[in-house]
Amino acid sequence: MSGIVDPGLQAGARAPGSRRSERSRGGTLGPAGTVAAAVVVVAVVAAVWPALLGGGDPLAVHPADALAAPGPAHPFGTDESGRDVLTRVVAGTRASLVVGVLATLVGGFAGIVLGTLAGLGGRVVDAVVGRVTEVAFALPLLLVALVVIAVTGPGAVPATLAVGFATAPGYARIVRALVRTARSSQVVETAVLQGRSPGRILLRHVLPAALWPVVAVATLGVGQAVVWASALSYLGVGTPPPAPEWGAMLADGRTYLLTAPWMSTFPGLAIVVLATAVTVLGRAVRRAGAAR
């Protein structure tokens, strides 16, 4: 949970000054960012058009080839039903990426709504939203997600919503602080003096001020959401088997960890690489944006 909260709060606090203080890299992504961008591009291709990279049917079973070690025929080996692990890892990209992005959108949107309400509303609304987010903060994110799934039942859509709602309090806090600052700013006071309506002030000045920092934080959040979505599938409450999903594949491989470690290793690597790449790219984009 802290993995999501910390960069968020930091970014929120630093946002105004960071435009000047963070060192400019000439508006480019830098070497790490470029590598991360390449990985993300590969992942997007795999999600949109898996046949291009993995080929084959991720569900096709070949009992004769069961638990084959990585080799020329199966670069990542096969699982207990003889399904090609490479094909399944490639095919699983879509689930991870879609759930990661959608969950972040859900979390970000819910956070913006809650944070704006708390930031603009009176003392009572602010207090209610504040206490609710604090309670959510106190619980481990996974637990909150599991509670949501306990209500909705398992599946890919519930997992997306669960991760989204579990990450919402972090975004809500950032938005609330930004909205509060913007609301008492001289920019807004000047707009009032010009006779602008509250709705127009909200749309023209307050929300734009809050949105960019949240987008910057959310790009980091996608990587985290990928990890959480995989974790839910690992626990068996996310995308149901036999659909290819990295978390579920990792769980399947547990039984064969000593005899066929590739079954867990490659999906695990895929999670780490994608989550890292998205996070690094998010940081690089933010830095480039700040330099601009």
Q: Point out which residues bind another protein (CB under 8 A).
A: 185-187, 189-190, 192-197, 200, 204-205, 208-209
Rg of the chain on CA atoms, in Å? 22
Distance CA 29, CA 269 (A): 24
Minimum CB separation from another protein for residue 18, in Å?
13
3-state SS class at 139: coil
Q: What is the DSSP string of 144-177?
A: HHHHHHHHH-SSHHHHHHHHHHHHHHHHHHHHHH
Q: Choose between 153 and 199: whose C-beta lies nearer to another protein.
A: 199
Q: Choose between 57 and 189: whose C-beta lies nearer to another protein.
A: 189
Minimum CB separation from another protein for residue 194, in Å?
6
Q: Which of 157, 141, 159 is nearest to 8 (CA)?
A: 141
Distance CA 53, CA 160 (A): 26
Minimum CB separation from another protein for residue 36, in Å?
28
Contact 244, 92 (CB under 8 A): yes
Minimum CB separation from another protein for residue 245, in Å?
41
Minimum CB separation from another protein for residue 192, in Å?
7
Q: Choose between 60 and 187: whose C-beta lies nearer to another protein.
A: 187
Distance CA 84, CA 52 (A): 15
Q: Choose between 59 and 192: whose C-beta lies nearer to another protein.
A: 192
3-state SS class at 78: strand
Q: Choose between 198 and 241: whose C-beta lies nearer to another protein.
A: 198
Minimum CB separation from another protein for residue 195, in Å?
3
3-state SS class at 59: coil
Distance CA 8, CA 169 (A): 11
Q: Choose between 112 and 278: whose C-beta lies nearer to another protein.
A: 112
